Amino acid sequence: MKKIKVGIVGCGFIGMGKHLPSMMKVEGVEPVAFCDIVPERAQAAAKQFGGHDALVCTDYRDLLNRTDIDAVHVCTPNSTHAEISIAAMKAGKHVMCEKPMAKTAAEAKAMLDVSRETGKLLTIGYQNRFREDSLFMKSLCQQGELGDIYLGKAFATRRRGVPTWGVFMDKEKQGGGPLIDLGTHALDLTLWMMENYEPVSALGSTFDKIGKLGSPANSMGPWDPAKYEVEDSAFGLVKFKNGTTVILEASWALNTVISNEAMTLLCGTKAGADMFPPEGPGVRTAEAQAAPTYHVRVNGENAGKLYLQNYAMGAAFIGDGSQPERFAGGTKEAQAWFRAVRGEAELVVKPEQAYTVTAILEAIYKSAASGDIVRLG
């Protein structure tokens, strides 16, 4: 089996936490080049995951000049996704870009166009599609168990979970806060379940109430309110060509006890289904975190009676099985991606789908700023 050689651009939290550990579990894949604007991060990544002759650099163009690299993983701030991905595809590399696809819909469209022009694969890091609960719920949709799905709710809410490192609070580099960071996952899941990528309008609201106040109770440590440039919560109502409606909720800081991060709820003509996280709705216990269990609930009517069925499934574990995978679905995402690179399967996360997600998020932001409905399509 010919080895797939990979270069990674961005050796921070997501690169070191998901991309590199996941690809190391896929047979025949070898990371050979490590790039980060902070040289110490690139060096640390190469030391942990690379060979003795691995390339370490601070300029992604040095990495792209390597003719032996087959695929590039882009794990940088949102504002650079398009630039680096486009350059990589033009250099003959397949690209796995971390979510969201891009900071703007125009940039995402440019990425899509270059993928088509070059024939190079482009996918986006929506690993939550590969969680066990997501795959089970997707199977229900594919088998028609829910019937005609006409309402979806996409949840990406944290009570106090503001990421206080990197550039997460920098509007110029990220394009926004929890909506573009977390909401993108929940919206991707919901559209994928429904197989509906024809939005026609969006109405949105964003709030920056708690971000400007600060909070010492934040799970990721206190933040500086003076540097908080993005929303702390966002809400959207999206309508589709066939009349379907999707409601999207996203927050880093919100006074709610229910934290449903990257979850979806669907209502169809035959039945409804929803997810809730390993800890249970709004509950965080040491036991649940040690042995996480995802849940899918299916409800409907049968023989004149209402029913509610709960399905529980464990999370993926890493290494010797002593701890759950840091990013649930990350390993399966990598396996699916590299099968596509080898030509053995189609992409699971298609760039056309990710472009629609980005277009909707942008429309919600525009609606929140103007107070008007924004048309799509």
Give residue-wise pLDDT tens across range 213-227: 999 999 999 999 999
One domain for residues 366 and 255: yes
pTM of the complete model = 0.94
- Given a cut of 90, whether residue 79 has pLDDT beyond it is yes
User: pLDDT band at residue 282, thresholds of 50, 70 and 90?
Assistant: very low
Are 34 and 50 contacting, i.e. CB atoms less than 8 angstroms apart? yes
Structural domain of 275: 128-375
- Given a cut of 70, whether residue 278 has pLDDT beyond it is no
Report which of 128, 123, 136, 177 is spatially closest to residue 154, judged by C-alpha positions: 128
One domain for residues 156 and 190: yes
Per residue in 154-176, pLDDT (tens digit) is 999 999 999 999 999 999 999 99
Up-side HSE of residue 305: CA atoms within 13 Å toward CB? 4
Q: Is residue 89 helix, strand or coil?
A: helix
pLDDT of residue 313: 84
pLDDT of residue 279: 60
Question: Residue 109 maps to which CATH number?
Answer: 3.40.50.720
d(CA 82, CA 107): 6
- Given a cut of 80, whether residue 323 has pLDDT beyond it is no
One domain for residues 256 and 242: yes
Sheet (strand 4-9) strand order: 55-57, 29-35, 4-9, 71-74, 94-98, 122-125
pLDDT of residue 64: 98
Of 58, 92, 125, which residue is a domain's last?
125
One domain for residues 96 and 177: no
One domain for residues 239 and 107: no
- How wide is the angle at C-alpha 232 spanned by C-alphas 228 and 233, nearest 5°? 160
d(CA 261, CA 252): 10
Range with lowest mean pLDDT among 267-271, 275-279, 296-300 = 275-279
Q: How many domains are contained in the chain?
A: 2
- Given a cut of 70, whether residue 184 has pLDDT beyond it is yes
Are 253 and 196 contacting, i.e. CB atoms less than 8 angstroms apart? no
243: left (phi over 0), alpha (psi -120 to 50) or beta: left
One domain for residues 276 and 223: yes
d(CA 281, CA 158): 12
One domain for residues 149 and 62: no
Range with lowest mean pLDDT among 48-62, 198-212, 272-286, 352-366 = 272-286
- Given a cut of 90, whether residue 318 has pLDDT beyond it is no
Up-side HSE of residue 223: CA atoms within 13 Å toward CB? 28
One domain for residues 121 and 160: no
Question: Residue 157 maps to which CATH number?
Answer: 3.30.360.10
Up-side HSE of residue 149: CA atoms within 13 Å toward CB? 27
**By percentage, how much of the chain surpasses pLDDT 70?**
93
- Given a cut of 70, whether residue 130 has pLDDT beyond it is yes
- Given a cut of 60, whether residue 290 has pLDDT beyond it is no
- Given a cut of 90, whether residue 283 has pLDDT beyond it is no
d(CA 156, CA 183): 5
Average pLDDT, the chain: 93
One domain for residues 306 and 336: yes
User: pLDDT band at residue 190, thresholds of 50, 70 and 90?
Assistant: very high
One domain for residues 136 and 91: no
One domain for residues 50 and 195: no
Burial group, residue 321, by CB count within 10 angstroms (0-12, 13-18, 19+)? exposed
One domain for residues 243 and 360: yes
Of 93, 125, 157, which residue is a domain's last?
125
User: pLDDT band at residue 377, thresholds of 50, 70 and 90?
Assistant: confident
Are 192 and 124 contacting, i.e. CB atoms less than 8 angstroms apart? no
One-letter identity of residue 282: G
